[in-house]
Structure 1
Amino acid sequence: MSADEYRRGRKVERERQQKDRRARGRYRGVLPAIYAIGFVSFTVVSLFIGPEPAFAVYLVTHLFYAGLIRADIKSLQSQGIDWGFSRHLWFGAAFALPFVAPAYYLYSGRVLRRENESRGVSD
């Protein structure tokens, strides 16, 4: 018998349930589609309307990316994945930098793969 078999309580049950299930990013799958839509709309607006409305599209889409990244990180944290201080960096960078959304998509995929391997759950 291991030491965990003697532990009781809600926290122990929650830890046991989190180890048994697969970690998934709630909004991670939507991010590439939203990024593609934002890129196309930015390109169309900048080519046909002008730079000022294109800047407005840029701001709105990056605000939306930051919100999606924040919500995804919060959903991953609720599943027991610790992000530390880097969650603030991902959220803040999504406001200003154009390629943060695809970089976050790739990075979070690595984090999820590593976490699922440590939980012993395969795809």
Structure 2
Amino acid sequence: MSANTTGDEYRRGREAEARQHRQPTVNPLYRPIILVVWAIGLVIALVTTLFAAFPETTFWVVLVSHLFLAGLVRQDIKSIRTQGVEWGLSRHVWFAATLVFPLVAPAYYLYSGRVVSRENERRRRRQEVDAGDGDGGGADADDGDEQGDGGGADADIGTDTAHDDPDSTRA
């Protein structure tokens, strides 16, 4: 059984461990839909205002669209929070404001985009720091094993980049 081993079990174990600690990027599920639903509700409200025989029709269109948008905002916030982003108390304000005010849905769209991009950037930086700290000492041993297996020029390229990043950040 040991005759079939390639000698890189340690490296593969470290890669699997790194994958377990890595946080995926935040992907808001309902955010793209919010702007589309808001625009469709606006068009329907304008059409009913201009062509409806009953003026209360516009009120009901606005009411239903606000309820639907508030539900989408609530579900979007829940989906983002399940991915590890903590909103704090402002999530309640966004939900209530979307329920009451007509222009909050596009504002929420922009704000949640900022929150998601900020969190994804934080996670990306954290992974780079973790990768730099974790691979800095182990890269020499791994590259040495690869060169012994006939890694050649590819192993040298990996060695150069592995040494440049940690040394340049510490200097």
TM-score, scaled relative to structure 2: 0.59
* Cα distance in 2 for residues equivalent to 1:112 and 1:51: 40
Corresponding residue of 1:75: 79
The alpha-carbon deviation at position 51 of structure 1 amounts to 2.7
Corresponding residue of 1:111: 115
* Cα distance in 2 for residues equivalent to 1:51 and 1:70: 30
Q: Which amino acid aligns with 1:109?
A: G
1:95 equivalent in alignment to 2:107: no
Deviation track 1:37-58 (CA, whole Å, cap 9, x = no partner) reads 1000000001111431100000
Q: Which amino acid aligns with 1:36?
A: A
SS of residue in 2 equivalent to 1:120: helix
The 4+ residue runs of structure 1 with deviation greater than 4 A are none
The alpha-carbon deviation at position 77 of structure 1 amounts to 0.3
* RMSD of aligned alpha carbons: 1.2
Q: Which amino acid aligns with 2:60?
A: A
Corresponding residue of 1:36: 39
The structure having more radius of gyration, on CA atoms, is 2
* Cα distance in 2 for residues equivalent to 1:69 and 1:111: 14
The alpha-carbon deviation at position 31 of structure 1 amounts to 1.1
* More RCO (CA 8 Å, sep 6+): 1
1:47 equivalent in alignment to 2:56: no
Deviation track 1:68-96 (CA, whole Å, cap 9, x = no partner) reads 00000000000000011111001101111
Corresponding residue of 1:22: 25
Deviation track 1:9-39 (CA, whole Å, cap 9, x = no partner) reads xxxx6xx35x2x1101100011111111100
Name structure 1 gaps, 5 residues minimum. 1-12
Q: Which amino acid aligns with 1:75?
A: S
* Cα distance in 1 for residues equivalent to 2:46 and 2:99: 18
Name structure 2 gaps, 5 residues minimum. 1-19, 126-171
**% identity of equivalent residues:** 51
Q: Which amino acid aligns with 2:31?
A: R
Q: Across the two proteins, how many residue pairs are aligned to each other?
A: 105
* Cα distance in 2 for residues equivalent to 1:59 and 1:32: 17
Higher fraction of helix: 2
